Amino acid sequence: MVIKPRIAKRQDCTTPLRQNNPSLAGLFLSFLRLGATAFGGPAMIPYIGTMAVEQKRWLEDRTFRDGVALCQSIPGATAMQAAAYVGFRTRGVVGAALSYIGFGLPAFFLMVGLSAIYARSASLPPVIALFSGLQTVVVAIVANATVSFGKSSLSSLRDAVVAAIAAAMFGAGTSPIWVILLAALLGLLLYKTDASPRSSVSPGEPSSSGRSVLIIAAAAASGFVLLFIFERKLFDLAAIMFRIDFFAFGGGFASVPLMFHEIVELRAWMDAQTFLNGIALGQITPGPIVITATFVGYVVYGLLGAIVATVSVFLPSFLIVVGVVPYFDRLRNSIYFIRAIRAILCSFVGLLLTVTFRFASNVSWDVPRVSLAAGAFVALLFKVEIIWIVIAGTVVSVFVL
C-alpha cells in the first residue's frame, strides 16, 4: 500500500497546514487501533500516512513525507517515530507522546504475555520443537533484512568497503558502537566528492517545544539516577537499551546486532538460542523488532525488567524526534550529516551479515530446517507479510520438525 502524492503549495515544514485538529484522546485511540495491527515494522508507515493525510486530514501530504524522511535519517524504530511525528505536528509534545505510546502499547502487552508463557513452558518438548523451527525463520528474516539494507545502502565500491570493514570488526569482537563511530568517520573522509544537500529549503525556526523536551529528558535522567542508587541491575539494563536505540540508525533491524552483542556476547544474560526465540516472539506481535527488548527484560528481571527495558529502548527515539523536528531542514542540508549517515547505514549491512551467520550457527541444520529457512527467505523476497511466514513456520515446526 502506498500513499499517492498530492500537489500542494510549498510551505515551511515547521508550520504545516491542518484541516482537522485532533483531540488528544482521538490521537491516542487512533494510534492504539493502528498499533494493534502494526505488523511489518516500517511497512506500517504508509498506513500511518493514509490515516493522518487521507482519512483524518490532520496533515498535508508533503508535511508527512518530510516526517518520513526525518525518521529514516535518525536512529530508532521508523514506524514508531512516524507516529510520534504525526502527534507532534498536530498537538505538540503531548500529542507526540500519546501517539507514540498508543502505537506501541499493543505490542508491549502482547510481548509481556508471550514472554510470561515462554518463561513457564520453554522446557516442554512441544515448545522446544516449535522454537527450533522458528529459529530458522528468524535466520531467514535477518538474512532478508541484510539483503534489503544492502540493496538500499550499497551503491559503490566505497560502500562495500565500509560494510566489509564493519563485518570484520564485529566478527573480531569489536563493540558495534565503535564500529558505527568509525563508519561515521570513514563517511566524512570517503564521500567528500559525493554528498550534497538533499533540498534547498531554508532552515526552519526552532519551535517552543524545547522546554517540554528538556523536562522529559530531566525526568528520564532522574529515573536513571534512582535506578542506579536503588537497583543497579535494572540501571544496567536501562542503560544498555537506551544506548542500543540511540545508535540504531536505519530502523528497528539495526538494533539486532547491537542487542545481540550487549545481551548475549558481552554480558551472557541469555544464550543465543533464547535470544533467537525472543526475536521469533517479536515477529508474531505488532510493532518493531526492537520490541524484543521487552522479552529480554522479562526473562532477565521479570515484569519490572520488561517495563524498564521497553521504556529505555523507545525513549531515545521519541526524544530525538521531538527534539530534531524544528531543526530538520538544517540537519538534512548538512553535508557532514549526509556523509556520516551514508557510511553508518553501510556499516549496518556488515553488522547484520555477521549476525545472520552467528544466528545460523546456533541452529541444528537438517533438510527440513534448510527447506523451511529457504522457503521463508524466498517468501520475504516476494514481499509476503512476516506474520504469515511466522504462522506457516509455526505449523511446519509443530507437524514436521
Q: What is the mean pLDDT of each run of 10 residues along the chain (401 residues)?
A: 38 47 91 81 79 88 84 85 92 93 93 92 78 86 86 89 93 88 92 60 50 87 94 95 90 87 93 91 83 95 96 93 81 82 89 89 88 92 84 84 68
Give the N- to C-terminal CA distance of the chain in Å, as an integer: 35
Instruction: Pick left, alpha or beta for residue 23 (phi over 0 → left; psi -120 to 50 → alpha; otherwise beta).
Output: beta
pLDDT of residue 208: 58
Angle between helices 367-381 and 386-399 (to 10 degrees): 170
| CA–CA separation, 289 and 279 (whole Å) | 7
Q: What angle do CA 370, 290, 352 make, to 5 degrees?
A: 50
User: Is the dihedral angle over the CA atoms 264, 289, 216, 105 positive or is it negative?
Assistant: negative
Predicted TM-score of the model (pTM): 0.80
The span from the CA of 316 to the CA of 221, in Å, is 12
For the segment 288-339, what is each residue's pLDDT rounded down to a tens digit? 889 999 999 999 999 999 999 999 999 999 999 998 887 776 777 788 888 8
Around Cβ 230, how many Cβ atoms within 10 Å? 9
Q: What is the reported pLDDT for 301?
A: 94
* pLDDT of res. 207: 52
CA distance 126 to 132: 10
pLDDT at 2: 35
What pLDDT shows up at residue 209? 66
Residue type, 302: G
24, 146, 308 from 358: Cα distances, Å? 45, 13, 28
Q: How far is CA 33 from CA 40, 126, 206, in A?
A: 16, 33, 32
The upper half-sphere exposure of residue 130, i.e. CA atoms within 13 Å in the direction of its Cβ, equals: 16
Place of cell 553488522: 351
